[in-house]
A and B are shown apart, each in its own frame.
Chain A
């Protein structure tokens, strides 16, 4: 049963701490994405990767970092430089550019 798994579902961060959100897919998709959703807003693209060992900044990349060492995995690190990290984070994958994306169930990050 293929899909995208995001963990954890809820995450709490202390001020000044880096945290890493996990995203794993077994759909054999080349492209993976990270989005952020804030109340009343759409999904804003943080980073995306079209192929292993390559990734590009999205519209709101500041304060975030990613890696794509394996096709199945695209972890997102929220660094202490991200001043407003409280949000719902969604990971997605797709077979290729512009094709419909499959989403995980998200991680809700809160600041303590």
Chain B
């Protein structure tokens, strides 16, 4: 029973264009969402987060959108750069839960020249 789903295992985007990575969740108790980026043979690194009181959070080229009614969030990267090629994990947690963060299965983003 996957509580956090990333239905696209891979995505290819041309350099300079917008990359949109999607994530769906099923647990309405989740109120804090995170995106992590992972390069091969390395641990994930925290990218950006959003709490359920917001519907948008922006940090440079990265913007996360949250649609609570649809239980959907997305990560926009614009413009996409070659160094953005990595696996992106969506994750969710509830402030009331005992510090457990639930991760999605990841989307591999490839930026082509």
Contacts and interface: CB of A to CB of B under 8 A. Distances in A.
Contacts, number: 60
A31 B106 CA distance: 24
Interface in A81-111: 90, 92, 94, 96-98, 100-106
A42 B93 contact: no
A53 interface: no
Given A40-B105, A43-B89, A97 B43 contact: no
Nearest to B104: A42
A42 B98 contact: no
Contacts of A45: 100-101
Given A56-B98, A97-B99, A98-B32, A42 B45 contact: no
Contacts of A35: 103
Question: Binding site of B, secondary structure by majority: helix, strand, loop or mixed?
Answer: loop
A97 B44 contact: no
Contacts of B46: 100-102
A48 B105 contact: no
19 contacts: A4-B43, A41-B105, A42-B4, A42-B89, A42-B104, A43-B103, A48-B99, A50-B99, A97-B95, A97-B97, A97-B98, A97-B99, A98-B93, A98-B94, A98-B99, A100-B46, A100-B49, A103-B44, A106-B41
Interface of A: 4, 6, 31, 35, 40-45, 48, 50, 56, 58, 90, 92, 94, 96-98, 100-106
